[in-house]
Structures are given as C-alpha cells and as structure tokens.
Copies of this chain bind each other. A is one copy, B any other.
Amino acid sequence: MKLTFLGTGAAVPTKYRSHPSVALKFDGEIFLFDCGENTQRQIIFTDVSPMKINNIFISHLHGDHILGIPGLLQSIAFQGRKKPLNIYGPPETKEMIKNMLKIGYHSIDYPINIHEASIESPEMIIASSNNSNGNNYEVYTFPVKHSVPSISYLFKQIKKPQMDIKKAETLGIEIGPDLKKLKDGFSIQLKNGKVITPKDVTIPPKKGYCIGYSGDTIPIDEFGKFLKYHGCNVLIHEATFDSSMQKNAVDTMHSTILDALDILEKSGARTLIATHISARYDDIMSFERDIVKFKEKNPEIEILIAEDFLEYVLK
C-alpha cells in the first residue's frame, strides 16, 4: 500500500503545489481521493497508472477538488479504457459528472457508476467482499463541515483469517485439496467422519491498515472518534492555514495545522499527513514551528506536511 500526493495545494495552485489529489495504490488498483485540475499531468511524474484507477472519491464540489475529472475521464478513454469506473461524492455529484461529460467532443464509452453519499450520517460505500485474494477493503464516508456539502473518507484494509497449518496438521489434515477447501471457506469431512469447519483451522486475521481522508472541513471531533473506532493508522487531514490564521480558517471553514493535530489525537492514528496548504505559504516554516510542541510531547507520532509527489508507504 502506498499513498502518492499528486497535488497538495488549496484553492489557488502555486509553482510547487498543484490542486488537491491523493492516489492510494492497493492490491494493483489505484484509489483516487479528489481530482483537482492537472491531476492527469501530475500522474505522469509518478508511478501511478491512470488506467488502474477504478474508484474516485470526491470530498466536495469545489473546483479545486474536481476540475481534473473531465480531463482524466477523457484521457483514459483515449488510452482505450473499457472497464467501469466508480465515482463517489456528495449529493449533486451525478449532475456534475453529467455536465462534465457534456464538455467538448470525446468518446468515453466505458460505464461510469456514480454513488452520492449522505451528508447526514456515515455510510459504508464499499463493502468488503468474500472472494478477494486476501486483500479486501471497505470504504466509509463521514459527513464533515465546509462551506458546501462535504464528506470525508475512510479506507480500511480487511485481512482474511490466516490458516493455522499446525492446528490443521494436529487435526489430521494434510496440505492438499482438503486444506484448500477450508482456505476457500468450505467445511470438509475427514475419513473418520469428523466435520472440520474453516473456523477450526484459522487464527483471527491481523488488523489491516486504515486511512482517513478529511477533505475540506473545520475540525470535527466526531470525525476523530469515528476514525478511532475503525482503528485509523494514517490520517490525511487538510491544514490550509498555520495557527496564526485561525480566524481565516473559521471564516472559510477550513482547518489549521493545530486543528489537524487535534483531530489526529482524537483519532488515535500514529501518522498525520497534513495537506491542502494555502497558496500564501512559500515554505512550511510556520507549520513546522506550530508542530514543535506536539512533537516534543508525542515523539512516537509521525507528522508530515505533504508536498507534491510525496510518497508514503504503509508497511
């Protein structure tokens, strides 16, 4: 699993920060969180394959988070995409995509499935299936608060129970067809008539990785608690401003880096990656100063201020 930050700017891009987008590489697929203008070109500078994007998660319908979608949809069509693409977002995402598809001449002929998530309550938008290669996942939304309807996302790796080979041997099951059946979730009957269920020969699964993505929002305590409940490891939280701009953050319904740290603490995550940095900052000195105290008190916590093309490997 790897996160690639394709754009880490806010409403206005800068020389160093393109509009927001984060790619998660998981089990050969790319999951894209927001898709600001220029995402398709930022991708060229990374090892992210645009043809492997099967799911796009949109936090809210502000231009800086969505204007890369039409170009990306057209580009992957141009490159021969036939597979369906899933797009998730807040209410009005369907209407928005419909309007995007009306722009200019193009030939997008792969299916686009759109799911509008609730802005009233959390939702499981992708349920873990049973037939994966052991790398299942679930995706949840959690409504947050910005100047327009806005949702955050939680991506959760679901590991399958592991086979306890030693226990299987003790029960007299040899490595072979019987063990494979049990692995695939079926019960078997031994020669002595005893029925063995998969549960008899598995050990509880290890906990998978869990990533939170705030989108644009004021700090929401309940979002922190929601992340904690799910065992969040890595929190990607917006930090448009440093602490000196607290008033601006409130006025524009964004977070400061201190707000992001606050939600991090509530989430129990061990890593914060702050992104969506305002164009007013030429460097991240003031952000670094803001996190000094927290770091001293919490040396075990990893805090990164994202920059374009930052790669973060979860291992």
Taking beta carbons and an 8 Å cutoff, which residues of A are in contact with B? Answer: 11-15, 18-19, 37-38, 40-41, 44-45, 61-63, 66-68, 70-71, 74-75, 78-79, 95-96, 99-100, 102-106, 147-148
Contacts and interface: CB of A to CB of B under 8 A. Distances in A.
Given A13-B41, A14-B44, A99-B99, 17 more contacts: A11-B78, A12-B75, A12-B78, A13-B44, A18-B41, A37-B40, A62-B106, A63-B71, A63-B74, A63-B103, A63-B104, A66-B103, A67-B103, A96-B102, A99-B100, A100-B103, A105-B148
Contacts of A14: 44
Contacts of A70: 63, 67
Nearest to A73: B63
Residue in A15, A41, A106 with the greatest tally of chain B CB atoms within 10 Å: A41
Nearest to A63: B74
Contacts of A63: 70-71, 74-75, 103-104, 106
A95 B104 CA distance: 9
A56 to B, nearest CB: 14
Contacts of A106: 62-63
Contact of A104 (B15, B19, B40, B96): B96
- SS class, residues of chain A in contact with chain B: loop
A70 B15 CA distance: 20
A40 B99 CA distance: 21
Nearest to A41: B13
A19 B67 CA distance: 14
Given A44-B15, A70-B63, A71-B63, A99 B96 contact: no
A37 B68 contact: yes
A92 to B, nearest CB: 9
A66 B104 contact: yes
A66 B61 CA distance: 20
A263 to B, nearest CB: 24
Residue in A14, A61, A95, A105 with the greatest tally of chain B CB atoms within 10 Å: A105
Nearest to A100: B103
A44 B14 CA distance: 7
7 tightest CB-CB pairs across the interface, nearest first? A61-B104, A38-B38, A13-B41, A99-B102, A63-B74, A37-B71, A105-B148
A112 B18 CA distance: 26
Nearest to A104: B61
A62 B78 CA distance: 12
Residue in A61, A103, A104, A148 with the greatest tally of chain B CB atoms within 10 Å: A104
